[in-house]
Amino acid sequence: MILTSIFKPLLLLVLLSLTISASSADVSVIAQAVDARYNHLRSLQAEFTEVYRGPGIERIESGTLWLKKPGKMRWEYRSPREKLFLSDGKNAWFYLPADRQAWQTPVRKLDDLRSPLGFLLGKTKLQKELQGLSLAPDAVPSMPGNIVLRGVPNRIADRVNQVMLEITPADQIARIILEEQDGSVTEYVFKDPKENVEIAEDRFRFVRPAGVEVIEGEFGQ
Report the distance separating Cα 91 and Cα 139, nearest Å.
Answer: 35
Q: Tell whether the model's pLDDT for residue 99 goes beyond 70.
A: yes
The single-letter code of the amino acid at 181 is Q
- Residue 40 included in any domain: yes
In sequence order, the β-bridge partners of residue 163 are: 151, 178
HSE-CB at 44 with a 13 A cutoff on CA atoms is: 28
CATH number at residue 94: 2.50.20.10
Predicted local distance difference test score (pLDDT) of residue 17: 35
Predicted local distance difference test score (pLDDT) of residue 177: 94
The single-letter code of the amino acid at 121 is L
Nearest to 49 by CA among 175, 199, 221: 175
- Residue 168 included in any domain: yes
Domain that holds residue 120: 12-212
Report the distance separating Cα 52 and Cα 61, nearest Å.
Answer: 9
Question: Are 72 and 86 a contacting pair, CB within 8 Å?
Answer: no
- Residue 217 included in any domain: no
- Residue 2 included in any domain: no
pTM above 0.75, yes or no: yes
- C-alpha to C-alpha distances, 19 to 7, 29, 140, 156, nearest whole angstrom: 18, 15, 21, 31
- Residue 202 included in any domain: yes
Q: Give percent above pLDDT 70 in the chain.
A: 82
End-to-end Cα, the chain, rounded Å: 67
- Residue 37 included in any domain: yes
- Residue 7 included in any domain: no
Three-class SS state of 200: coil
- Cβ burial of 16 (10 Å; 0-12, 13-18, 19+) is exposed
Nearest to 34 by CA among 199, 141, 175: 175
- Residue 188 included in any domain: yes
Count: domains in the chain: 1
Predicted local distance difference test score (pLDDT) of residue 176: 93
Predicted local distance difference test score (pLDDT) of residue 120: 73
pLDDT digits (tens, 9 = 90+) for 100-122: 999 998 988 776 667 656 667 76
- Please report the DSSP string for 125-162 in residue order: -HHHHEEEEEE-TTSPPSSTT-EEEEEEESTTTTTEEE
| Average pLDDT in the chain | 84
Q: Tell whether the model's pLDDT for residue 82 goes beyond 80.
A: yes
Question: What element of type H or E holds 14?
Answer: helix 2-39
